Structure 1
Amino acid sequence: MKKTRSIFITGCLMGALFFNSSCNDFLEPENLSSVSEARQFDSVSDTFTALVGVYAQLAGDDGYGQRIALILPHSGDDYRTSGSYSCNDRRGVATFGACPTNTELNGPFSKLYTGIERANFCIKNIPLSPVYQTGTEEDKKLMDRYLGEALTLRAQFYYELIRNWGDVPYYPVPAADMAEQYLPKTDRDVIYEQMIEDLGRAATLVPWRSEGGTPNARLSKAAVKGLRARIALARAGYSLRRSPQIMAQGSNPQKYYQIALDECRDIMNHPGEHSLNPSYENVFRSLHTNSQDATNEIIFAIGAFGGNSRTDSKIGYYNGLKHDDNSSWKGGGGINALPTYFYEFSKYDLRRDMNVGIYKVNNTNQAELVPANGFTDSKYRKSWTGITGPSQNLAVDWPMIRLSDVMLMFAEADNEINGAPSQDAKNALLAVRSRAYAGNLGQVGTIPSDKAGFFNAIVKERLLELGSEGIRKYDLIRWNLIASKIAETKQKLTDFINGTGAYANVPLDIYYKPSVYDPTKTAQQNVTAIDLYTVGADKSEVFYQPTQSATLPVGYKKIAWRSGVAATYVNDPAGGYAQYFEPNKRELLPIYFEYIQNNYNLTQDYGY
């Protein structure tokens, strides 16, 4: 027990640099020396225990089990957090109006730095391990792998800090080895450079999935390369700078587009490792059972387990399809899909009914339509876990990197480097779209051949493909489109409310009969099972035609569809969409106030 305690105690040091947080869950009254630190890495098995401690910082309520995955990424032009505004809770984050006293920001910041400290501990000590002198060749290979995983996890933690808070203090070694404990901010590009270098090294140490027998909850070579591509695109793109306080692109972007292109191409050139799953839905169903999807499209996922707030997840309970309290499941509904997001999809796109939940499961386990202001993200569903009752921790994994994301990053980087898409880039985009239109390939449309047209197609495709995966807001920021897309979405929502423009034929109300909800059916089947009232028309067209009767038909219920969205949805101090967004100011979050108080070199920037 003593050897693992040294990891956890050192992991607490970083949090102590910012505020007097407690690590009581790990501390015991024992005197640990540098000898016990060294002993933690004197065998392959003990080193793996230390590495597991790094992985552990990904999970839980303050990690990708809730706050980092489900609260910090909203909102873009797809989703928003449900409920009314408060600067001190999750709704403040969603409306770009978070205060430095917002407690949703406290835990994630601390957790990420604790993860960095634990990773630094491994990165320092693994190369010093006697295993490299006395171990077998297989042991040495495993130690190299562990080092590569630690380097990758540290990069992920820093990437998450940077994309939410911008420049942050940079600790390249364990806190105890730093001459100065209280560091100022380091320019993000400096950190990015080191992370890109580290990931290049890690990719030579971590095996491919098939070589290492790697489940998707553990890093493989493809995951390392995918993260390197993602960070390279962030480095090439725009971000809110401190001086001057403007959105500015990173220097030498072509260099980083090339890195992203090369890494994504290498992943795509190994189809035996990861390929597109023919079923978009089954990719996400697998997350609910901690299993691999059939073709390993999910390259890396955050594992969840244990039924507690530290190692498990509330994915599917906090967010996802709404299940009423007296249904068999209870949960979901914490995140709302924008009414207009439903209409970004064509009726032939199989992703629509996965990304947008237009119904809830009521107290008698029936599927009944919800008003357009009550749509949810429905890739995640408590009813897909088999867990019933009031349970909140559902052990649903979080998808970090998927092959379709890699293919779209490849296509984007190719277009930027060549000034127009190559045939390989077009094929990558076409493959993603074709999966979405399986059975209706004639609806796929034409892939643009010019740079601007292709870029716009990538922007749209990532909106449709990666909905509710915690990516969209950060895409819009790195493209410097966040301000224009918010303005565009406000106008779309206004048109939706008024029934004008693209929404002129969207019905005010829809008449329907509930159907029995069956979690074994596909998302699309559960939607089509709902009896929609129509007069001489295809029922799939009901969402795209004006209300078909002035009076309620016998036996049907009425749901306020377009009429369920009021003007306050767009502009309202109590919680209008992106109500408090300000360009060149709110692209980043404030640092929780106690960190500023406890580190005299740390500054609160961007007007907070």
Structure 2
Amino acid sequence: MKKTLILLSALSIGFTSCVDLNESPESFISPEQFYKTAKDAVTAVNAIYYPLVDNKVGAQPIYNRLFYTGLDFMTDDMDAGPGSPNGEVRAFAKLTHASTNLRIQQIWTEHYEGINKANIALERIPAIEMDAKLKSRLLGEATFLRALYYFNLVRLYGDVPLLLTDQTRLTTAELQVPRTPTSEVYAQIIKDLEDAANYFKNGAAGEAGRATEGASKALLSKVYLTKRDWANSVKLAEEVINGSYGYGLFDDYSQVFLPAYKNGREHIFSAQIKGSTISTGHLVTSSDIRSGVPGIKGSYGNQVAFYTVGTDKYFSVYKLFSNKDKRKRVSFVTSYTSPTDGKKYFTLNAPGDSVPYINKNWDPNYPTSGQSDANANVLRFAEVLLIHAEAENELNGPTEKAYTSLNKIRKRAGLDNLTTGLTKDEFRDSVYLDRRLELVAEYQRFFDLIRQTGTEATGVGPEGRGILVKNLKLVGKNNVTPKHYLFAIPQGEIDRNPKLTQNSGW
């Protein structure tokens, strides 16, 4: 079994092997001079991972603060907390943001940075004389990562420029290209993931921190799910579930998030942060934590979205969990004990109704600093089971195979097996609910609201699908409109490239 680990320090990115990578040479070396050795090839591929957890000046990591504020805040699960004063962040939560919003620009920029680094590696590495198995593995990693970056972009922005060559070689005029149709972008993503899986078959074993054949197939299954290609989604998911990759569920749901267990059997692909070595710290953990607890650094910048259900004015995703669901008290806590005075600190919305605080990024090794070594899950085995259950139900109805995959998730959560004899619609609703509870605060809900359908779905999304508008209005986010099924193309990009067009409504 191979897992993914990305360690980021303020100046360099390295893996848990003996590789000591500085992303940029300390003195100028031309590309012709640099891409000569196997070490150069490894360095080039390491750099492709960088934007996933990049914390450089002027930017934020994709799989940390950017997706938290730019995706999860635009859902029915989460909201900007009282400790989040940034106007652009709060605009996302209220869905009043414009095409000039910095997060819209940064998400675009960080993804294309990763894509260009992948393009450079894919262009330069084939000509390097080096071990064939190592070369094959490195080409697999570069191809996988390019697919991941484009998969995020096409889901967020729709048609996007499909750039497959080194952009640093192009003139300003050559960089001014129109948007590529979504269908062509998806075709390239699928090709890249198929190519990546083949590269890995012939490649050398990689140390922790590398994309793998299993990760390629898991992501491809998710791509097919998004495209509603149920047959291929089932096929790829079953190859991952039944393959020899060694994946499985942790016995205890809490182990998925505790740093002591990272890179375990459930982690197919993870962007993992060493919080104590990042110059500005882990950008999510302290924002999850309640403010005002002596000895614990917390700003409460991230909170669940509270809304009214019946007479309950403080309903939230927290209350969708049954009390027997073990995931409830792993994903959230309702109080903190101060290491300074030993007192318990909590907040009440109403008598007997404690405020739930997001707990998935908490690291018991940093009880007072607001730091965390908790990884950011990109793909984990539990999601593959959920993908399989959903796609199998759409393809063949709620078969025994679909029940088996979903019940594995429920059993780990301490829940009874799902009632047998459900209709296709009823089973679909059950899968959607378990996706929501299993993956809460893991950057999945926004994408799910866009692609999910239901018997009562309203709003017009891509291909007339999606429940984003309906669900956000149910929680009082009334500024949502059909335009929010896609992000705006960043206005700065349109200013630089007149061939780009804006998405409808922006």
State the TM-score, normalized to the length of structure 1: 0.68
Aligned to 1:329: 296
Aligned to 1:468: 441
Q: CA deviation at 1:394?
A: 3.5
Mapped contact 1:123–1:147 kept (Cα < 8 A): yes
Max Rg structure: 1
Aligned to 2:152: 160
Unmatched tracts of structure 2, length 5 or more: 1-22, 55-59, 306-314, 460-466
Mapped contact 2:84–2:301 kept (Cα < 8 A): no
Q: Give deviations 1:139-188, integer Å, cap 9, x for gaps.
A: 21111010011011011111122222221111011114557211111112
Q: CA deviation at 1:104?
A: 2.2
Aligned mate of 2:365, from 367, 375, 385: 385
Root-mean-square deviation (Å)? 2.9
Aligned to 1:66: 65
- Give matches, 1:156-555, under 5 Å: 156-178=148-170, 180-206=174-200, 212=205, 214-215=207-208, 217-236=209-228, 256-270=229-243, 273-286=246-259, 289=260, 291-293=262-264, 296-305=265-274, 307=276, 313-319=282-288, 322-325=289-292, 327-331=294-298, 333-338=300-305, 339-361=315-337, 364-372=341-349, 374-382=355-363, 384-386=364-366, 388-389=368-369, 394-418=372-396, 420-437=397-414, 443-480=416-453, 481=457, 483=459, 484=467, 487=470, 491=474
Q: CA deviation at 1:57?
A: 1.5
Aligned to 1:588: 486
SS of the residue corresponding to residue 401 of structure 1 reads strand
Structure 2: which amino acid aligns with 1:355?
S
Going from structure 1 to structure 2, the CA distance change for 1:130 and 1:76 (only over 3 Å counts) comes to same
Structure 2: which amino acid aligns with 1:305?
K
State the TM-score, normalized to the length of structure 2: 0.81
Identity rate, percent: 25
Mapped contact 2:407–2:418 kept (Cα < 8 A): no
Structure 2: which amino acid aligns with 1:94?
A
SS of the residue corresponding to residue 492 of structure 2 reads helix
Taking the aligned partners of 1:122 and 1:482, their CA distance within structure 2 comes to 44
Going from structure 1 to structure 2, the CA distance change for 1:482 and 1:318 (only over 3 Å counts) comes to farther
Taking the aligned partners of 2:105 and 2:95, their CA distance within structure 1 comes to 16
Mapped contact 2:64–2:284 kept (Cα < 8 A): yes
Q: CA deviation at 1:378?
A: 1.5
Structure 2: which amino acid aligns with 1:335?
N
Taking the aligned partners of 2:382 and 2:137, their CA distance within structure 1 comes to 26
Mapped contact 1:596–1:602 kept (Cα < 8 A): yes
Taking the aligned partners of 1:146 and 1:605, their CA distance within structure 2 comes to 36
How many aligned positions are there? Answer: 453
Moved more, 351-360 or 111-120: 351-360
Aligned mate of 1:50, from 28, 44, 61: 44
Structure 1: which amino acid aligns with 2:32?
V
Moved more, 404-413 or 68-77: 68-77
Q: CA deviation at 1:85?
A: 9.8
Alignment of 1:116 with 2:115, yes or no, is yes
Taking the aligned partners of 2:72 and 2:155, their CA distance within structure 1 comes to 10
SS of the residue corresponding to residue 384 of structure 2 reads helix
Q: Give deviations 1:551-580, integer Å, cap 9, x for gaps.
A: xxxxxxxxxxxxxxxxxxx3xxxxxxx231
Aligned to 1:9: none
Aligned to 1:539: none
Alignment of 1:90 with 2:89, yes or no, is yes
Taking the aligned partners of 1:110 and 1:485, their CA distance within structure 2 comes to 25
SS of the residue corresponding to residue 316 of structure 2 reads helix
Mapped contact 1:448–1:457 kept (Cα < 8 A): no
SS of the residue corresponding to residue 602 of structure 1 reads coil
Alignment of 1:105 with 2:110, yes or no, is no
Unmatched tracts of structure 1, length 5 or more: 1-24, 132-138, 237-255, 494-569, 571-577
Moved more, 72-81 or 478-487: 478-487
Taking the aligned partners of 2:254 and 2:261, their CA distance within structure 1 comes to 15
Taking the aligned partners of 2:319 and 2:468, their CA distance within structure 1 comes to 16
Q: Give deviations 1:17-73, integer Å, cap 9, x for gaps.
A: xxxxxxxx959784x54522xx42x32222111111111121132321311245333
